[in-house]
Structure formats: C-alpha cells, structure tokens
C-alpha cells in the first residue's frame, strides 16, 4: 500500500478521514492486528519444544546456506551417564538380594501380597523358647506330644517355602516356590513331631 505509506508520513489520519476506502482498509488492519495480539497473548504458554525449535532453526540455516554452529562436545556427559547407570544396577541388585530371606509372620509384610497365613492352634505352643535361638522347633500340626523316653531322630530336607504356611508363617506369593532348608524331628513312631526352618 504505497499510497497509504506515503500519506502516513504527512499525517495518515487526515487522508483516512477523506478516503472511505483507506479508512476501511485501516480499520480492517487494526482489527487483524488486535486479533493477532490477542491470539499471541492467549497462546503465550503454548510453544514448540526446544528441540523442535533447534531443528527448525538448523534446517532454516541449512537451506539458507549458513553455517550451523554445534555446541562443543562435553566429554564428561557419557561418563556420568554410564556411572549413574552402573550405580543404579548395583543398587537394584543389592536391594533384591537383601530381600531374599525368610520373613517371619510377625514382621511387616505390607509391601507384599500374602498367599495365606494359617495360625497354629492355640493349644500347640511353640516348643522352643523364643529367646533361645538354638532351639526354635515348632510342633507339627496335630502331632502327638513327645514322651519323656521317646526316641527322636532328625532329618534335613529342602522343601518349598510354601510348606511354612501350615506352620503359621506368612509366605509371600512370589517366594512360595523357593526352597528353604528344614530340620524335621521324627518321633519313635517315625512321624514328624516338630520342625524348624533355616534362613
């Protein structure tokens, strides 16, 4: 609009007042500019990610025949990345290894799904003194009591951890098939009288 630009140096509003066509054009331009400003204000929070902008800029500079300046290579970035990854793997392995031991029922197992937990009958008391770590035998459910002069023998077996459930231990579902070592006391009749499990 050269005519309008020329008139603007002298005072655009005088011409606009005399020229209805230019007045209409100016009015439309103002409306458009106002709308664009409003749109820009509304979309201020929405902008392309930095990587898109950098790629667009690089493409533009490439098409325009200009040199793309690459940032200097930082040698410590891959080193730090690999060190962090190794530390994460070691920490995870230690966490998982630490968690692989017998969890008695009275300990908190809230972070695990419990398969089942059966309480022993009230009259089947623990034969071992709980303060005596050397003798933590638990009577077998429904086993006869041990007579004063009864012959006792011992058998060591490895059983699935799920076998502990019947003795009142809580066993998590994901560890039910793991093996656990047990010592079983046999009475004079050859039937199991008591058992204890080992970590």
Of 77-96, binders to other proteins (CB under 8 A) are 78, 81-82, 84-85, 88-89, 92-93, 96
Which residues inside 5-24 make contact with other proteins, applying CB under 8 A? none
Q: DSSP string spanning 139-158?
A: EPTTPPPPPTT---EEEEEE
Tokens of 92: 């995870």
HSE of 94, CA atoms in CB hemisphere, 13 A:
6
Residue with token string 């502990």? 164
174-177 LR contacts (CB < 8 Å, sep 24+): 174/112, 174/113, 175/100, 176/115
32 binding other proteins? (CB under 8 A): no
> What's the Cα-to-Cα distance from 45 to each of 39, 40, 49, rounded to whole Å?
11, 9, 11
179 binding other proteins? (CB under 8 A): yes
The distance of closest approach from Cβ of residue 78 to other proteins in the complex, given in angstroms and rounded to an integer, is 7
Q: Which of 11/104 has CB closer to other proteins?
A: 104
Q: Which of 46, 106, 110, 113 binds other proteins (CB under 8 A)?
A: 106
Q: Which of 16/140 has CB closer to other proteins?
A: 140
Q: Which of 42/119 has CB closer to other proteins?
A: 119
Give the number of residues in contact with other proteins, rule: CB under 8 A: 81
Cβ proximity of 137 and 195 under 8 Å:
yes
Contact range with other proteins by CB under 8 A, out of 6-14, 39-47, 57-65, 175-183: 175-183
125 binding other proteins? (CB under 8 A): yes
Q: Which of 16/168 has CB closer to other proteins?
A: 168
Q: How far apart are CA 148 and CA 144, in angstroms?
A: 12
Which residues inside 132-171 make contact with other proteins, applying CB under 8 A? 132-138, 140-160, 163-164, 166-170
Cβ proximity of 177 and 160 under 8 Å:
yes
């Amino acid at each position: 609009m050269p005519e309008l630009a020329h008139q603007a140096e002298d005072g655009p509003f005088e011409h606009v007042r005399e020229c209805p066509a230019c007045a209409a054009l100016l009015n439309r331009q103002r409306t458009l500019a106002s709308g664009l400003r409003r749109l820009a204000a509304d979309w201020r929070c929405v902008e392309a990610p930095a990587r898109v902008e950098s790629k667009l800029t690089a493409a533009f500079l490439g098409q325009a025949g200009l040199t793309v300046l690459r940032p200097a290579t930082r040698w410590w970035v891959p080193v730090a990345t690999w060190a962090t990854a190794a530390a994460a793997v070691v920490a995870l392995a230690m966490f998982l290894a630490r968690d692989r031991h017998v969890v008695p029922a009275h300990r908190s197992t809230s972070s695990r799904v419990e398969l089942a937990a059966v309480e022993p009958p009230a009259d089947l008391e623990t034969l071992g003194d709980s303060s005596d770590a050397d003798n933590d035998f638990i009577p077998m459910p429904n086993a006869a009591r041990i007579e004063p002069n009864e012959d006792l023998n011992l058998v060591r077996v490895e059983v699935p951890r799920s076998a502990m459930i019947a003795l009142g231990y809580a066993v998590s579902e994901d560890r039910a098939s793991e093996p656990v070592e047990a010592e079983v006391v046999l009475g004079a009749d050859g039937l199991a009288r008591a058992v204890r499990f080992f970590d």
